Structure 1
Amino acid sequence: MNTLLRTVGIPGDAPHLLVMLPGMVMQAEAIFEAGFADAIAQRALPLDLLAVDVSGIGLEAADTWNALQDQILTPERARRRSVWLGGISLGGLVAMAHVAARPGVVDGLCLLAPYPGSRPSVNVIERAGGVDRWQPSAADLRDPELRLWQWLKRPPRDLPVFIGHGREDRFADRIQQVADRFPATARHTVAGGHEWSAWLPVWEQFLEAGYFSA
């Protein structure tokens, strides 16, 4: 089955590209309407932004994620200095899962309030006493969310990661558990909840973090 992904944004010739995955029931256009591309332009960064419309697609949609790799990430990495993968909410969870299943396919991760997984999956880890004490069983690893948490036990140290969320986010405690798997310099918080009023300021912090140069 060949899946043709719908994208928003026209990649130019900037040396860097960020491919952003929207959250659940969020259209790719919303990322541009919220001012993400404008924030890049205001800083004159050598960065292109491309949003991929994957509404309603879950972690097990192999055709879609193969298409993301084959149609976008692989060819863009062949012509640029760097390609980052990012996501908002569920898109952040999927971005991590994509990289966990395909090590080395991107140059960095930008995670804005990444959904930390459903309560049943998180409960498995909490009952074990936390991710460091959890020893996944074969049954656990049939759950795609728990396969991601297995990756989070030891995420690659050489992969640049930016992760940020609102301090009043309804998932804040569990997002922080994800953030704590990465270095302190990767973790950022702002005022706000699980909404654009927090995501845009976090995005602006990401753009000002110095990842992209001409």
Structure 2
Amino acid sequence: MSELRTLHHEVGGRHLLVLLPGAYMTPEDFVAAGFFTAAERRRLDLDMAAVHLDLEQISSGSALPAVQEQILGPARQRYDSVWLGGISLGGLLTLCHNADQPGSIDGLCLLAPYPGSRLTLNAITRAGGLDAWQPTAEQLDDPEFRMWRWLKQPPAELPVFVGYGSEDRFAAGMQQIAERFPANARLAVPGGHDWPVWQALWEHFLDLGHFPPRN
């Protein structure tokens, strides 16, 4: 298993947020979009790590085990809480990891989470919606279906934020994800599938109070 490339923002915080990228995105994109500086401007008690994952790692299934082994597992020994988040495909991966490794993370930050393929969503729709859908054994070989099974009844005690643009081309599926969580855990803002929307959602997430200011 090759070493994952990460960019870190470390302030000696007691909490860690690991960010997974969207397709064709790099850790440097999070930095350029001001994600680290927005947290630092608030002087939050929060370390951050943006991870590079290429599509080959994701499609082969090696990406999330590497994130768990190299980043999340060791971080649990060091931090009071470890959050996982991501944008678009990174949001889907965050949900997939949480579904397959329950208890491995303490909170989720989902920015425009890609809801999965049309085949996955259509199968659930044809079954009468998520609450009516009963996954088959064959479907549960697919991490997208396992993610949606987890969303049937997510644990109420898990802190989650789901945000997306109301004009996002995937907004209908994102809304279905968001509606599985309390109203105060979700936000739709005007805009599409792009950085201005994700930046606005990130600012909102940081202001929710999940992470205290540093002393």
CA RMSD of aligned residues (A): 1.4
Mean alpha-carbon deviation: is it higher for 49-58 or for 124-133? 49-58
Q: Are positions 1:191 and 2:190 aligned together?
A: yes
Shift, 1:162, TM fit: 0.5
Q: Which blocks of at least 5 consecutive residues in structure 1 are unaligned?
A: none
User: What code does the residue aligned with 1:13 have?
Assistant: G
Instruction: Give CA deviations for 1:86-115 in whole Å, capped at 9, x if unaligned.
Output: 010000000110011011011100000000
Q: Which residue does 1:123 correspond to in 2?
A: 122
Secondary structure of the corresponding residue to residue 50 of structure 1: strand
- Counterparts of 1:11 and 1:25, CA distance in 2: 25
- Counterparts of 2:139 and 2:94, CA distance in 1: 20
Paired residues for 1:91-170 under 5 Å: 91-170=90-169
Q: TM-score, normalised by structure 2?
A: 0.95
- Counterparts of 2:75 and 2:209, CA distance in 1: 21
Secondary structure of the corresponding residue to residue 51 of structure 1: strand
- Counterparts of 1:180 and 1:57, CA distance in 2: 31
Shift, 1:62, TM fit: 3.9
Secondary structure of the corresponding residue to residue 62 of structure 2: helix
- Counterparts of 2:162 and 2:47, CA distance in 1: 19
Q: Alignment length, in residue pairs? A: 213
Q: TM-score, normalised by structure 1?
A: 0.95
User: What code does the residue aligned with 2:181 have?
Assistant: F
Instruction: Give CA deviations for 1:26-77 in whole Å, capped at 9, x if unaligned.
Output: 1111011100011111111111111010021565644332221111111112
- Counterparts of 1:38 and 1:142, CA distance in 2: 40
Paired residues for 1:47-86 under 5 Å: 47-57=46-56, 61-86=60-85
Shift, 1:142, TM fit: 2.0
Identity of aligned residues (%): 53
Q: Are positions 1:45 and 2:52 aligned together?
A: no
- Counterparts of 1:63 and 1:27, CA distance in 2: 18
Structure 2 contact 92–113 (Cα < 8 Å) conserved: yes
Q: Which blocks of at least 5 consecutive residues in structure 2 are unaligned?
A: none
Shift, 1:3, TM fit: 2.5
Q: Which residue does 2:205 correspond to in 1?
A: 206
User: What code does the residue aligned with 1:175 have?
Assistant: M
User: What code does the residue aligned with 1:42 have?
Assistant: R
- Counterparts of 1:122 and 1:208, CA distance in 2: 32
* Cα pair distance change 1:196/1:31, threshold 3 Å: same
User: What code does the residue aligned with 1:136 have?
Assistant: P
